[in-house]
Amino acid sequence: MARPRAGVLALQGDVREHLRVLTLLGAEAVPVRTPAELASVDGLVVPGGESSVIDKLSRAFGLFQPLRERIAERMPVYGTCAGLILLADRITDGAPGQQTFGGIDVTVQRNAFGGQVDSFETDLDVPALGDRPVHAVFIRAPRVTQAGPGVEPLATLEDGSVVAVRQGTLLGTAFHPEMTGEHRFHALLLELMRAA
């Protein structure tokens, strides 16, 4: 695969930032709003935003089922913040009727650290990405409260909260690397796409 075609789910959230990072890394980065656009990409970023809104819009745009199918077919997907919630098999305190695309065998708690005013930044050790710490921005962030045996925790906070995971071709972070110039998670997604 010379130049991987990476999509960013463009229903709501910080779409432009992810498109910019993927383009900087040499991918052909495209917004995804329709099933046809989804079918044309080799991998996908599900951005931060409001998970319940993205869920509703994905159903309104006819994307919910095609997304579940592509994830089940092992398409590489990286979810940040709301994206992690949407890739989780289970959520606690979801909005009434809220569903997820699933794929990662985790339970995720929404807004686990409080509201917008409780946003924070910290440096995280992520051994899978090398020795340099990841500067992470948490905004109304979720956390993983339970993980199945096939899930690899990639990063934890000092209190033990799991905030980055990988399962097969799926990645999820509770934070926003696209906001801090941190490109290694996106680079890992592109590696998974090339390998697939």
Give φ, ψ of 123 to 5 degrees. Answer: -100, 135
Residues marked as catalytic: 81, 176, 178
Residue 133 DSSP one-character state: P
Residue 139, number of CB atoms within 10 A of its CB: 18
Asked whether the beta carbons of 154 and 128 are under 8 A apart, the reply is yes
Whether the Cβ atoms of residue 187 and residue 22 lie closer than 8 Å to each other: no
- 40, 61 Cβ separation under 8 angstroms: no
Cα 37 from chain centroid (whole Å): 18
> Between 184-195 and 15-24, two packed helices, what is the crossing angle to 10 degrees?
70
Q: Which two tokens stand for residue 194?
A: 């090339």
- The radius of gyration of the chain's CA atoms, rounded to the nearest angstrom, is 15
